[in-house]
Amino acid sequence: MSTQNTQLPPDGNHNSHDAIPESERGFSELRRKVRESELLSASLVRLLRDLHFNGKLTVVVQNGQILKSGYEEGYFRRRGDLDF
């Protein structure tokens, strides 16, 4: 068994992840979910796929609570708009 000579950062944390404030970790997770399109539940994604929904979903959030949500059908009008 080897012994490593490790020094703790000034705040005593072993992991640099611990030094990141909780709010920053939360926003990082939100950005990741938005970037990877993980905002909707699997059941809603299935429903949208089954309906062949083409449109725009909107959610307005204030202080962590949904104020309003809505949808706009026919958002993609031209054939090329759906190309990713």
Instruction: Output the pLDDT for position 1.
Output: 47
- Tens digit of pLDDT for each residue in 22-39? 888 999 999 999 889 898
User: Domain residue spans in the chain?
Assistant: 15-53, 54-84
Instruction: Output the pLDDT for position 8.
Output: 47
Q: What gap in Å lies between CA 25 and CA 22, rounded to an integer? A: 5
Instruction: Output the pLDDT for position 81.
Output: 56
Percent residues over pLDDT 90 in the chain: 43
SS3 sequence of the chain: CCCCCCCCCCCCCCCHHHHCCHHHHHHHHHHHHHHCCCCCCHHHHHHHHHHCCCEEEEEEEECCEEEEEEEEECCCCCHHHHCC
- Tens digit of pLDDT for each residue in 44-67? 999 999 998 999 999 999 999 999
